[in-house]
Amino acid sequence: MTFWQTAVDQFSANGVPAGHGHVYGSGVVDGWVALAPPPGWTTADTINLRALMDG
């Protein structure tokens, strides 16, 4: 059963709205910035990266 669920999921996983399934979009940006921001990272950098990823 797990094999079939996984096989079906591979074909439909990217057809869901952003933030659900396997489509994360820019949702990961805030997490990475909170845990490991690059030196000199600014709020403007976060906003720009979100826009780029959601593009």
- As for how many domains the chain has, the answer is 1
pLDDT at residue 53, rounded to an integer: 86
Instruction: Report the alpha-carbon distance of residue 7 to residue 55 in Å, rounded.
Output: 28
Contacts of 18 (CB under 8 A, 6+ apart): 24, 25, 27, 54
Instruction: Give pTM, 2 decimals.
Output: 0.60
- pLDDT tens string for the chain (55 positions)? 888 888 887 777 667 776 666 667 788 898 899 999 999 999 999 999 999 988 7
pLDDT at residue 41, rounded to an integer: 96
pLDDT at residue 33, rounded to an integer: 92
pLDDT at residue 25, rounded to an integer: 76
Range of the domain at 7: 2-54
Contacts of 17 (CB under 8 A, 6+ apart): 23
